[in-house]
Each structure stands twice: as structure tokens, then as C-alpha cells.
Structure 1
Amino acid sequence: MSPDTHAPTVARRAAMVRRLETGSGLADPRLREAFLSVRREVLLPHAYVRVSGPGADPIDWRLLDGSHPDDREEWLELIHSDESILLQRDGERLDTLARGPVTGGNMTSMSTYGPATIEALQGMLLEPGQRYLELGPGPGVSLALAAAVTGPGLATGVERDGHMASFAQHNLDRLGLGAAVVQGDALEGHPAGGLFDRIHSGIGVPCVPPAWVEQLAPGGRLLTTLATRTPSWPGQLLVTRTETGRIEAVLTGRPRGYRPMLGYRWLHAVGHRARIKEDPGTPRPTRLAPPTDDAYGLWLAAAYLMPNVVRDFQAETMTLVAPEDDSWAVASPGDGTVRVHGPRDVWAELEDVHTRWERAGRPDQYVVDLADLAGPQVVTAGAGPHALTWTLPPLAAVPRQAP
């Protein structure tokens, strides 16, 4: 990798690393060195910033061009922040973008923000010499960091979008890390097959694609987000294959996760915010006080057992919304009541899930049965009649990329 002697960007990376060490748990010395050495400005030469406020449709954006002097300082600050960097709208080509305002479109590729990258890569326990596979690498930031640890020729990404695959490979080649990006369907793993010591998915999936497990080497670790239609309560799945070949999978609730794969549309509470403020619903008594935000095991179960519900984290008191059913629940602070509206009593569903979660022993983690990759993937915590269990939904069909 060619040396970087440009003082301003070196200083920005050093400041970023100090911040990540203090606030985001960056502790692995090899990964720390990778963050210091990988030139983010090469991998993220432009960035979209949102101009419109919440709920705007269509959305107004502004494209920052890192090579333009009027954009450079704002762009440098953004790409060295903890924010996710927006790179691509609607699968567009990336070699003909023009700086300035643009309206409409949906973001189809972005980099993962720093704290999530650290959590994932440190959870992978990366070491030199490991074969590393990144599924959905986007612009290649995580892939570049992993390649800086594992060594040249060992880190590969599978990217379904041809424009993004070419863009990432071009920029990775400039870094000289020996990382490769191939175009293919990430749900099928590496198109050439093979075994990998570490597999990391940058896309959330509803269940585990069989190819991912099949390509996991003995002693290997696979890390991904299990996504539902709610962005509020994601689950992180760690799959390991023992040296004797046995598959073990553990699902843990987390405060954040990766965006779901194409074909999964997240639900949002923003569209109901004004109506909820005007009419919070009919009050009724409840013995369930609003659960704490860090009861991740409970909220993870809620994502599956009370589906299509999203939380409005901007509300003054805990507000749960089922947008497609025109239903919501607004908890009252400390007086033992809750307001409910619509055909679904969302709070009653939460009360039921909370009771089942307590009977199962208030689990933080769940075991996922992947013994039969052709069959249903069942999630369980506890045992006997009080076990808390559900079945993961199947993989949705993913539209193919237009040529």
C-alpha cells in the first residue's frame, strides 16, 4: 500500500481513531492500525447529504464532490465522522455524477457508520492469513479494513450492483491492499464457491442463506444482521462452525443493525406522527411499565412476535405504531395507563410478549437451529412449556439488477 503523506487527511484519521477508541470501543490493535492507514477519501470520493426534513417526499439531496474546493472541507469532515456515507441513488452509475442539488430517488448503497463497523470487525476476531468474505461491500470500507488485517489476496467482496462493484474495485486498487470485488448475488455467497474463515454480511437478511453456511470453513465465524420490517429492534446473528464441523448460531438483540436486503421496505412512524399527536388514543389501565430501551432480548422478540410495528423514538413517551393497520399505542409516564388506537391493541401485544419473555427467563440471546439448511430456521430461548420461540421468515425473491 502506497504511503499517505498528506498531513490534513492523516490528522483527520488520527482524530477519528481517538474518537472511536474513546466512544466506540475500538480496541483491537490490528484494526486500529487499519483505521489509521486506510485512506477513506479514496473509497468515498463523493457523498450525498440530505437537505429535506423528515417525511419529505420526494427528498432533496445535495451531492458533495470531494475534489471540488467548495465541497472539500464539508466532505472531509463527513467521511471521517461516525455517520453512514450515502453513495448511490437507484443503482445509478458512479462515474458520471454531478455535484450539487438533486431531487428524488432512494439510496441504494452507503458505507456503514464507524461504530457498527468496529463492532462487526472486532466481533469477527480478524487475524492475518484468514480468508475473508464480505457480502454486500458497497464502496468497500469494511472490506479494505479487513484486507489491511488479513493480508493481500485474502479479502473478497461480492456486490450485486455492477456499477458499485466496478467503483469499489477501482478505488481499492488505488489503495494497493490486494482486495477484490466480484459481481454476484450476495445471497449465494461467493459465485466461485470455496471456504472462508470469516464471512461478514453488510446487508440485513430475514434468515440465513444456505450458501453462507456452506462456505464457512471449520473454525470460522459468520456475522450478519437478521432484519425484519422494523428498523427499531434489529438482531445480530453470529454463526460459528466448530473444528469438527458442527454449526452453532446465536441471535442477540442490538441497538443497531444493517439495512435490509433489496425487496425489504422498512416501516416508518413519521407519517402517523401528526395524527398521534392530535389523537393519542383511548386510555386504558396497564400493569406493564414502558420497558427500558436496553431490554434488547425483549425488543428482539417483539420484532417477530408483534410484526410490522415500529417505534417512534422521537416521541416524548414510548410510542409504538403499526402503520399498515392504522394502530398505535402511547404509554403514559408513570400513571399505569396507556392510550391505544386502531384495530390492533399494540400494547396488549407487547404485554403478551413481555409475559412470555419473562417466563422464558428474560433471555438476552436466542439459539437459531441451522441443522437443516433446507428446512425452517427456528429461534428458541428457554426450554419446556415456557420456551420462547419463533420461526424466521424465508428469503424474499430479490429483483435482478437491470443491465
Structure 2
Amino acid sequence: MNPVPTASAGLRRELADRLRSTGAVKSDQWYEAFAAVPREAFVRAFAVGTQHGPVHLTPEDPRRLSTVYSDDSLLTRFDAAGVPTSSSTLPTLMALMLEALDVADGNRVLEVATGTGCNAALLSHRVGDGNVTTIEVDPELARAAERRLARAGYRPTVLAGDGRAGHPDGGPYDRLIATCGFTGIPPAWLEQMTPGGIIVCPVGGGVVRLVVQKDGTAAGAFLPDAAFFMPVRGIGENGTTPVPPPLPDNCSSRPCYVEPADLLDDGIHFLLNLAVPRAMTRFIHDAAGEVAAVNMWQPDGAWAELRHGIARQAGPRRILDAVETAIIAYEAAGRPRRERYRLRVDAGRQWVSVADSDGPTWELGRPHGRPLGRGLPAERPAAAAVTGGR
């Protein structure tokens, strides 16, 4: 292995110490990986997001090295509109996901979404280059990551392709980790895993940890921490964030018990990412900076606006009906935290449910978000109950 840069050795050790002190890093093996892998070798020019927009740092900026070893996501690529399309994940989240992967010596690991290559370097340090395969949909990013990895002394297998298909030629895998956002688990992954293998993947606004069974099914719970990743892209997709469609002419209107600000609640936001997948959301603020309305839309033309207790909807389904139903279920289940949600994958179908609850089960991939199985309360609760009295 080639020697890694030494200028940041102290900063790397300080970062590893911080990650261990917060509990993000628990094992000595991952502590040593974070202390050894030079993050600056994988990010040159980058930006850090602030409330006033991204702050860009060049390689010559004196703040660069200290920022690299802060606990921040580093934005490394933007589209023509200035929207980030690639980044280096904040170290705390990287550590939490790697610990959840529960790797052992000799495990074969598939990583989906190479990005800068930093996470692949950590995996290579832990289990060895020959046991790591990483896939990046953007050929240019894949080539750049492979060069960075080689310069830092790591030589995993780096492929350009659609990670949703996995890489069957390199399997079977004992572990699979994804570092981009999904609305469900690609079925091809399960076919390439060993029995007892573990998948760690961002789904919605969280990260799920699944254990694959001998019969090809998988099940597991979400980690307790929030996680917001750039969405997975397919071949030829540029990752540009969709813009809201124009106001439809054929809207229906009805009173709604949900208030726009309710959708800012982290627990509600997490559930809605599962119950109403692929929905885009835009909040509209009044002159005082308060949330006055929210627009939601889906790629197939479903559209909704919630303003002053009135739901306006159009398109092939009623988005706010699904939102309201999900929030009622959320309140009835006692406002569950992420770790109470479980995901099961069986015969190509995927369900999310709340553990120890008689509430509904949502099937991922259903764009209308209608719950399955166990029913909701027959009567709609009063407004204060739906919004939690906020």
C-alpha cells in the first residue's frame, strides 16, 4: 500500500476521537480506519452548505483542511442550476452506517454509489481491497474515484454502472452498503447476497438495516438517526431536482385537518417519505417567515397544495389524502421514532410497518401511499389530535 499523506494525521486522529466519543464509532477497527484514511485525498474543491447557501472552498483556501475534518457533508458536484448532485457524506453518518454493516474479516462487500471514493477507502482499509467492489453510475465520477483511491493506496474494484442491478459477477456478497437515497430495496441485491448477509441502505429519510434470509427474503429495522441522501440515479439521468409543475386547472378542494407546518416535523417527514414515495415538497413562507402553505407533486402529475386548512388536489391520485391518513396513523401509534419502523422484503414486495402497533402497513412502491392490512380508526380525530396539539 502506498503511504498516505501525513500532514493531516493529527486531524484524522482527532476526528476518529470525536466519532468514538459520540458513539458513532464503537469498534477499534473502524476507529483505526477513520484515523488512517485521508479524507482530503478524496475532496479537492468543495462546498459546505449553510443557511445562506453553499460556501465554496478551493484547494488553496486556508480553511480547507480543518473543514475536511469537520463533521460536515462536503458538496463536490453541482448541476447547471447549482443543485448538489454528489458529496462526501458527513463522517458521523458514514460511521453509523459502517458500524451497522457489522463487517467481519474476510467479508465481501458491495458498495453502491462510489461518489468521491472515501467510503470505499474506509471499507478497503477494514476488509482489504480484494473484498470490496464499488459501483458508480457516473463514469466520470467512477474514473476519478478510482484515481483518488489508487493515489491514497487503495485498489478496490471500481465499476461504472447502475448500482440498482448490483454486480452479480462479483458475488455473492456478505455485506452491501448504499450511499444514495432509495424508495425501496432493489430486488437484484437480495439475489446476490449470502444467507445472513446484511444490507444497509438509505430509504426515505432514514437508513434501514436488513438481514437476508436463506429463502431470499429480508427484514430489519431503521437506524434511529435521520439521513438525507441524494437520490439514486439511473444511466443517463442527470440528477437535476425537478421543479414544481404549474397549477392545474381541474383541482378539487376540501377541508384538511393537517396544517402545512406539520410536515416540518421530523417524524412526520420520515413517514411521508415512505407512505408517499417520490413526492417533491416545497414550503411557501409568509412575510413573517412562517410556513403558510406547502406544494407537493409526484412525477406522474399528481399535485396538491395545502393552505389555510384547505387541500387542493389534482392528477391521478390525491396526495393529501395519503398524507392525512399517514399522519393519523402516526398519531395513533404514539408518534413512533425511526427505530420502531421495520421493513420486510418478500417475493419482490416490500412493506413498512411500526413494530408493536396495530397501525397500517405501507407497501413501498405504491405511489398513492394507501396503507395495507391493519386498518385505521374508523373516525377521523379532531384537528388537535392530528397535529399533536402543536
TM-score interval, smaller chain: 0.7 to 0.9
1:271-282 pair list within 5 angstroms: none
2:206 is aligned to 235
Question: In the superposition, relative to structure 1, how do residues 236 and 286 fare at CA in structure 2: closer, same or farther (>3 Å)?
Answer: closer
Query: SS where residue 204 of structure 1 aligns?
Result: coil
Count of residues paired in the alignment: 341
Query: Hey, what does 2:386 align to over in structure 1?
Result: none
Rounded to whole Å, the distance in 2 between the matches of 1:26 and 1:327 is 42
> Following the alignment from structure 2 to structure 1, what is the Cα–Cα distance between the partners of residues 179 and 145?
14
1:24 CA drift (Å): 5.7
Task: Tell me the distance in 2 between the aligned counterparts of 1:241 and 1:319.
Answer: 44
Matched, 1:249 2:238: no
Work out which of the residue numbers 340, 351, 365 in structure 2 matches 1:378. Answer: 351
Question: Is the CA contact 1:4–1:10 (under 8 Å) kept in the aligned structure 2?
Answer: no
Find the aligned partners of 2:30 and 2:264 in 1 and give their Cα distance: 33
One-letter amino acid of the structure 1 residue matched with residue 88 of structure 2? S
TM-score (norm 2): 0.72
Relative to structure 1, is the Cα distance of residues 311 and 15 closer, same or farther in structure 2, using a 3 angstrom cutoff? farther
**Separation in structure 1 between the aligned mates of residue 211 and residue 166 of structure 2, nearest angstrom:** 16
Comparing 147-156 and 362-371, the one that deviates more: 362-371
Verify: 1:14 aligned to 2:13, yes or no.
yes
Describe the shift of the 1:349–1:212 C-alpha distance in structure 2 as closer, same or farther (beyond 3 A).
closer
How far apart in 1 are the matches of 2:257 and 2:336? 27
Q: How does 1:207-356 map to 2 (within 5 A)?
A: 207-227=184-204, 234-242=205-213, 244-245=214-215, 247-252=217-222, 254-262=225-233, 293=265, 296=267, 298-305=268-275, 308=279, 310=281, 321-324=294-297, 325=303, 327-328=305-306, 339-341=308-310, 343=312, 352-356=325-329
Q: Using a 3 Å threshold, how does the CA distance of structure 1 residues 268 and 317 change in structure 2: closer, same or farther?
A: farther
Q: 1:181 to 1:86 in 2, by over 3 A?
A: same
Q: 1:322 to 1:284 in 2, by over 3 A?
A: closer
2:367 maps to 1:368: no
**Alpha-carbon shift at residue 178 of structure 1 (Å):** 3.3
Q: 1:136 to 1:309 in 2, by over 3 A?
A: closer
Q: 1:141 aligns with which of 96, 100, 118?
A: 118
Q: 1:327 is aligned with what amino acid?
A: E
Contact 1:111 1:139 in 2 (8 A): yes
Partner deviation per Cα, 1:129-166 (whole Å, 9 max, x = no partner): 11111101111111111111112311110111111111
Deviation string 1:345-384 (CA, Å, 9 cap, x unpaired) is 99987664343235456554334342212xx323334699
Identical counterparts, % of pairs: 26
Q: 1-side partners of 2:264 and 2:11: how far apart?
A: 36
Aligned to 2:384: none
Superposed, 1:66-105 pairs within 5 Å as 66=59, 71-90=60-79, 104-105=81-82
Find the aligned partners of 1:5 and 1:225 in 2 and give their Cα distance: 31
Amino acid of the structure 2 residue aligned with 1:36? A
CA contact (8 A) 2:293 2:306 kept: yes
Residues 169 and 388 of structure 1: CA distance in aligned 2, closer, same or farther (over 3 Å): same
Counterpart secondary structure, 2:111: strand
Distance 2:354 2:66 in 1: 44
Contact 1:221 1:241 in 2 (8 A): yes
Q: Which residue of 2 aligns with 1:2?
A: 2
1:32-71 equivalences under 5 Å are: 32-48=31-47, 53=52, 62=56, 64=58, 66=59, 71=60
1:352 and 1:249, CA in 2 relative to 1: closer, same or farther beyond 3 A?
same
What is residue 363 of structure 2 aligned with on the other side? 391
Q: Residue 340 of structure 1: CA displacement?
A: 2.8
Matched-pair contact (CA < 8 Å) for 1:206–1:394: no
RMSD: 4.1
Structure 1 residues 233-270: Cα deviation after superposition (integer angstroms, max 9, x where no partner): x132222124x44533235374223221136776899x
> What one-letter code is carried by the residue in structure 1 that aligns with 2:9?
V
Q: Which amino acid aligns with 2:41?
A: V
Structure 1 pair 394–78 and aligned structure 2 pair: CA distance change class (3 A) = farther
Q: Would you say the 8 A contact 2:111–2:120 is kept in 1?
A: yes
Secondary structure of the equivalent of 2:142? helix
Give, as a single letter, the amino acid of the residue that structure 2 aligns with 1:379.
V
Match of 2:174 in 1: 197
Question: Does the C-alpha gap of structure 1 residues 111 and 311 become closer, same or farther in structure 2, counting only changes over 3 Å?
Answer: same
TM-score by length of 1: 0.70
Change (3 A) 1:358 1:342: closer
The unaligned stretches of length 5 or more in structure 2 are 245-254, 298-302, 368-390
Partner Cα separation in structure 1 for residue 258 and residue 134 of structure 2: 50
Whole-angstrom CA distance in 2 between matches of 1:181 and 1:117: 19
Please give the per-residue CA displacement for 1:281-310, whole angstroms capped at 9, x wherever unaligned: xx99989x969956x4x5433334456374
Q: 2:162 aligns with which of 168, 174, 185?
A: 185
- The C-alpha deviation readout for 1:190-223, integer Å capped at 9, x for no partner, is 1624211110011112221111111111221001
Amino acid at match of 1:18: D
